Amino acid sequence: MKKSVRKAIIAGNWKMNKTRPEAKALLEEIKPLVANADVEVVACVPFTNLETAIAATEGSNIKIGAENVHFEKSGAYTGEISADMLVELGVEYVVIGHSERRQYFAETDETVNKRTKAALAAGLKPIVCVGELLWERECSITEEVIARQIKLDLYDIPAEDVKKTVIAYEPVWAIGTGKTATADQAEEVCALIRATLAKLYDEETAQAVTIQYGGSMNAGNCAELLSKENVDGGLIGGASLKAADFNTIVQAAVNG
Ligand code: PEP
């Protein structure tokens, strides 16, 4: 299977930004720009914006995602949101294991694995984030770090579910820093992720999985990154909050 037949997915990760009126206004601005784009366009928004975002994008080609999900179905987990709660709202995607959650909220590969399984069981499409720290890259252990994360995060998830899972390669040193991996660095690790999937599952499964790059992707660097064979899309933070920039990235994926 070639890149051209995999689904390109451009997903915005709004992080902790936008009130409900601001969210509606941004989506109204993005909607006409991306209306004819032949790629999957997703906006992952704060929990408080989900209902507003789903209403604002109804009948459009923009899908809505959450930024996290708990792994239990219900119970005494104050402050948490279950997969069923998201599905009931009409949410389709969910970001899991973002480096900010790993760094600030004690997210581990074990909880990433549990959240991914819960999301899949409920019918959500998980966007599972992996990526190395700067010092891990400097110590030349990027390959081990990424392969380990992929093995642990996808532990015991069958091939048919992995095909519904999006992997986002997000080098931690490139997130929100303005430092982007070069297109060759991004391609090298995305190809490594695909090779790891092929070892864990099989070549057909590996070729079916959408692998995104994320980390300071913007209107200026997106075309080169998205032209790479194993970079099937992007997870976009800062640039997803500007309609014109986000659209430039979406259009680059159409051409990618
Ligand atoms: C992200 O939050 O996933 C991200 C890639 O952020 P940024 O694009 O701002 O680096």
- The answer to pTM > 0.95 is yes
Per-residue pLDDT of the chain (256 residues; tens, 9 = 90+): 567 778 899 999 999 999 999 999 999 999 999 999 999 999 999 999 999 999 999 999 999 999 999 999 999 999 999 999 999 999 999 999 999 999 999 999 999 999 999 999 999 999 999 999 999 999 999 999 999 999 999 999 999 999 999 999 999 999 988 888 999 999 999 999 999 999 999 999 999 999 999 999 999 999 999 999 999 999 999 999 999 999 999 999 998 8
At position 252, the amino acid (one-letter code) is A
Is residue 170 part of the annotated active site? The answer reads yes
- Taking the CA of residue 239 as reference, the ligand 1 atom at the shortest distance is 8
- Active-site residue among 100, 132, 170, 187? 170
- Distance between CA atoms of 179 and 176, rounded to whole angstroms? 8
Atom of ligand 1 nearest to the CA of 218: 8
Residue 246 C-alpha from the chain's centroid: 15
Nearest CA to ligand 1 atom 6: 237
Structure tokens at 71: 């792994």
What is the whole-number distance in angstroms between the Cα of residue 75 and the centre of ligand 1? 32
Q: What's the confidence (pLDDT) of residue 41?
A: 98
What are the Cα distances from residue 170, in Å, to 8, 32, 57, 98, 99? 16, 28, 27, 8, 8
